[in-house]
Copies of this chain bind each other. A is one copy, B any other.
Amino acid sequence: MLLEAVRRGDVEPRTALERFSALPFRDLGFARVDVHREVRQEAPEAVLGEGKSPEQVTAIVRALLEGGAGSVLVTRADAATRGAVRSAETEAHEDERARCVWVARSLPEARGTVAMVSAGTSDGAVLHEARIRAELLGTSVTVQEDIGVAGLHRLAAALPELAAADCVVVAAGMDGALASVVGGLVAAPVIGVPTSGGYGASRGGETPLFAMLASCAAGLAVVGIDDGFGAGTIAARIARSAAA
Q: Which residues of chain A have a CB within 8 Å of any CB of chain B?
A: 3-4, 6-7, 9, 13-23, 25, 27, 29-32, 34, 36-37, 40-43, 45-46, 48, 50-52, 56, 76, 119-122, 124, 145-160, 162-164, 166, 174-177, 180-181, 183-191, 197-203, 206-227, 229-231, 233-234, 237-238, 241-242, 244
Among all A-B residue pairs, the 7 with the closest Cβ atoms: A200-B224, A18-B18, A17-B21, A201-B213, A3-B163, A221-B221, A34-B151
Q: How far is the CA of A226 from the CA of B201 in the complex (A)?
A: 9
Which of A121, A185, A213, A242: most chain B Cβ within 10 A? A213
Residues of B within 8 A of A215 (CB): 149-150, 174-175, 177
Q: How far is the CA of A42 from the CA of B181 in the complex (A)?
A: 17
When the two chains form the complex, which single residue of B23, B159, B162, B180 contacts A177, counting CB atoms closer than 8 Å?
A: B180
Task: Say whether B201 contacts A224, CB under 8 Å.
Answer: yes
Task: Say whether A184 contacts B13, CB under 8 Å.
Answer: no
List 6 A-B pairs, Cβ < 8 Å. A16-B159, A17-B153, A32-B151, A42-B187, A177-B180, A199-B226
